[in-house]
Amino acid sequence: MTTVIKPNLLSQDEALSLVETAVKKSEAEGIFVSLSNNESSLSRYSENQISQNITKTKFELNITSYFGTRSATASTTELDPDAITATIRRSEELARIAPQDPEWVPMLPPQQYENRTSAFDELTATISPLARGEIVQKVCAMSAKAGVDGSGTLSTDTYLEAIANSQGLRGCNKYTKADFSFTARIENGSSWSRQTACGINQLPTETLTEELINRAFASRQPREINPGAYPVIFSGAAFADLLIWLIFNLDARAADEGRSFMSRNDENGKTVGNRVGEQMFSPLVQVQRYPGHPLLQLGTFFGDGLSNNYLEVIKDGVPQTLSYSRYWAAQKAKEPTGYMFPVVMQGSDQSLADLISQTERAVLVNRSWYVRYVNPRTLEVTGMTRDGTFWIEDGKIAYPIKNLRFNQILPDMLRDVDAVTKVQRYGNNVLPGVRVKAFNFSSVTDSI
């Protein structure tokens, strides 16, 4: 039995040597080189049997050449030295005729990145399709024995990224990630969740499968409740698909230009800056950009070379900063921040069951589905509950309820958070489950 395979990736030394060589070949006034090399494997299963087992290796080299305030980027997916040289020349030719960039910023000088090593799990990087399939086989066997239809994915990813420019900037990261998702369906009952880890052996595949099978049985024969505003308890997975919309909209330029919920207006409705420093959310909302969190251990820089370091985003419910691009930071005499990802929100030592036991009445939401904008300016979104929605009464799950469509202003939701659970990792974010005092449901849906 083959349990491991050799990954088709460059080493970190090879990656740094390649980007260094590209910089030396440049004939432009400046050059920025970024390399990405990743191997992603996916095992997909449906109706209690594996349906897909694939591995994909991707290499991409991006070359950006600069002549004054003109620039252009060309890319190649070939490692051949002649192909790389041709890509460099192509970017130079395009840069010479490109229009001048009115928002041009000079290239980054060498940066001081955090002194830490990203998580790299050897088994996750080398696990074979057969070994992944055996994990899925156990999940499918559990589903079949319980009499439910089980479906989902098990994936592993190995990432390598390297950057260099003609000002001496250099950086290289290598890390792994594993992700498991599972949906259980029986009759008109359904449940879903996912978990993510640095290594595949850290995924609780069988424990989560058993939990979701039991929830699918409990979600059958749902009752209908009237739409309206209710207290809600969100699982961490459901909350993740809502919070990410707010974090994505913490953009300084949009706020300063009056296009964001973070814009601050005077009595005449004119935008006069942003709302950083205002008490906007519950004091329980504590959010950081924290790539070094023990559950994440991601890379130390962004694709443009800016440092991806620890950053306080929301403290005690008060926004501490916004996301500043290099251009907008220069306009506002601020330090550029880069993006606000990955997101970590602090939790507590309580479980979701603890929150339920402390709640007189509420709706329990296990999944937020198909979330979309209603009004980007106020950050009102719409979406649906799915895969197991329940009515809580007197500290217990009373019965399943039919799924509901919601229309909710997300800043108001975070203002109304009054309890949080332990944190877990979902994708590249670490979040708790939360309880909110009021959440607006607009209609009943027929979705399962």
Indicate the DSSP class of residue 300.
Answer: S
Tell me the H-state helices in 28-128. Answer: 81-97, 122-126
Q: Which amino acid is at 54?
A: I
What is 12-212's CATH superfamily?
A: PmbA/TldD superfamily (3.30.2290.10)
What is the spatial distance between Cα 352 and Cα 211, in angstroms, rounded to a whole number?
13
CA distances from 65 to 23, 161, 305, 407 (A): 10, 19, 15, 46
Cβ proximity of 414 and 246 under 8 Å: yes
What is the spatial distance between Cα 65 and Cα 31, in angstroms, rounded to a whole number?
5
- Note the pTM of the prediction, 2 decimals: 0.95
Cis amide prior to 342 (ω within 30 degrees): yes
The strand ranges marked E within 3-148 are 30-46, 49-67, 70-76
Indicate the DSSP class of residue 224.
Answer: P
pLDDT tens per residue, the chain (448 residues)? 455 666 679 999 999 999 999 999 999 999 999 999 999 999 999 999 999 999 999 999 999 999 999 999 999 999 999 999 999 999 999 999 999 999 999 999 999 999 999 999 999 999 999 999 999 999 999 999 999 999 999 999 999 999 999 999 999 999 999 999 999 999 999 999 999 999 999 999 999 999 999 999 999 999 999 999 999 999 999 999 999 999 999 999 999 999 999 999 998 889 999 999 999 999 999 999 999 999 999 999 999 999 999 999 999 999 999 999 999 999 999 999 999 999 999 999 999 999 999 999 999 999 999 999 999 999 999 999 999 999 999 999 999 999 999 999 999 999 999 999 999 999 999 999 999 999 999 999 988 7
What spatial distance separates the first Cα and last Cα of the chain, rounded to whole Å?
40
Indicate the DSSP class of residue 249.
Answer: T
Q: Where are the domains of the chain?
A: 12-212, 222-244+347-444
Question: Token pair of 198, please?
Answer: 């640095």
CA distances from 330 to 108, 248, 258, 354, 366 (A): 13, 21, 19, 47, 43
What is the spatial distance between Cα 43 and Cα 56, in angstroms, rounded to a whole number?
12
